[in-house]
Structure 1
């Protein structure tokens, strides 16, 4: 069974931490859209972080890499996917390539906690924006954010969205369109793993 998982969420909500843990536990290939995007420029600055053109290139390259990897491996994409049209690029690229598509939407409604997480980052990525700029990026993404819904999944495969609140460290709800028994068993396994790792 071929599976692709992708994250949706704002800055500093816990996407990367959870995505890496899931990838390690389930032996998925891990793709970071942020790292791929930053590799496209000689020096990544705050100006580049706001560039829609660079973001689009980053997402398109990440999606293309995922479709190649899916020929032999299951994949998890660590990205914000905060705009619906970029998620549609992913859905359109995956037609008949996967048996199960899972979105993990991670949110932290407590902005004070978000700012604290950004300020506590001991080492920002090389050539990345500084902490003050990360907060500006968070504010920009928040204004543009399109919350996902299972109805937007324009794909024939089984699909689901897991909604996670990292302020309270709980799964707040799920939206599921699963018919296949193998998909159902995998999804149950994924939920158990996420619950086990929330708050760690």
Structure 2
């Protein structure tokens, strides 16, 4: 069973519907005590990082997420919240994924980075099974994780940034797999199938 953590600032329905199309019915949960009952979990997020982190802290999610030992994946802002720090609001985040989140340096490109873009530098991992460089996914963001040892796939918009990350049982996708057509559907299926060593 998959839990979708209700952070109060996420478009949860589109994520839930994407899993339902794969034959899985997630449960949206609002109580951190519920998390341990589920086989895997999604941390979605849209909006401002500081507001989202404040909500996670106030609702008691930080400890529950830190103690969770099964697959947990953040999507978009949810991925950024799993990292160590974000410059958006200058806040400490959950610290499950090594590295920091900073403003995308886009040069003369428009910000936020919005729309379809290629993936590149794809590493082998259960979450990237069947994924190849140059496949496209749908992004909406202006802050991004700097590529490091946790990066499984990169995107590029002005500069390279992490598109998929994983560390132990925690993972994140900067793009919206629920809006990324067949590629996104395959990646969500990979998350469903992901077995920890």
Considering fraction of residues, name the structure with more strand: 2
Q: Give your verdict on TM over 0.5.
A: no
TM-score, scaled to structure 2: 0.35
TM-score, scaled to structure 1: 0.34
Larger Rg: 1
Larger relative contact order (Cα-Cα within 8 Å, sequence gap ≥ 6): 1
